[in-house]
Amino acid sequence: MSKSKLLGAEGEDYAAYYLKLKGKEIIARNVHASGGELDIIAYDKSSDVFLLIEVKTRSDESFAQGVEAVGRSKQKKMEKAAAHFFLHILRWPQMPVYEIHALVLTAGIGNGEFNVQYYDDLS
């Protein structure tokens, strides 16, 4: 596995851990559908809302902000993957209430920790 893919996988694991610490329930990870992909689907019991979460992991802060990569086109792809998951895999009769969020992680210096920037309700 390439170094960047390894960093991305580590970042997604850390993002799931971070969300659990914040009281979110992880429903699914790496959901793929024709034309769309979704890193994490979580549930926020306090607001009764599902969260479609894009995770962007960077090796240092000199890279462009990860949230900039979650534009309207990417959001549409996330929604498509979520619709496939809820309507076809889980066979729910309709889409639940959801929000699109992003987690931008910047890797620490070899310590397995990440600086976390959380962006909620991008939709």
CB 69 within 8 A of CB 56: yes
* Sequence ranges of the domains in the chain: 3-63+71-119
Q: How many CB atoms lie within 10 A of CB 46?
A: 8
Model confidence over 13-23: pLDDT tens digits? 999 999 999 99
Q: What pLDDT is recorded for position 10?
A: 87
Which DSSP letter does residue 120 get? Answer: -
> The pTM is what?
0.87
pLDDT interval class at 97 (50, 70, 90): very high
Rg of the chain taking only CA atoms, in angstroms: 14
Sheet with 98-107, strands from edge to edge, namely: 25-33, 36-44, 49-58, 98-107, 114-119
- Checking DSSP bridges between strand 98-107 and strand 49-58, what pairing results, if any? parallel
Contact 71, 54 (CB under 8 A): no
Residue predicted with more confidence, 63 or 91 = 91
CATH code matching the domain that covers 3-63+71-119, chosen among 3.10.450.50, 1.10.3210.10, 3.40.1350.10, 3.30.70.980: 3.40.1350.10
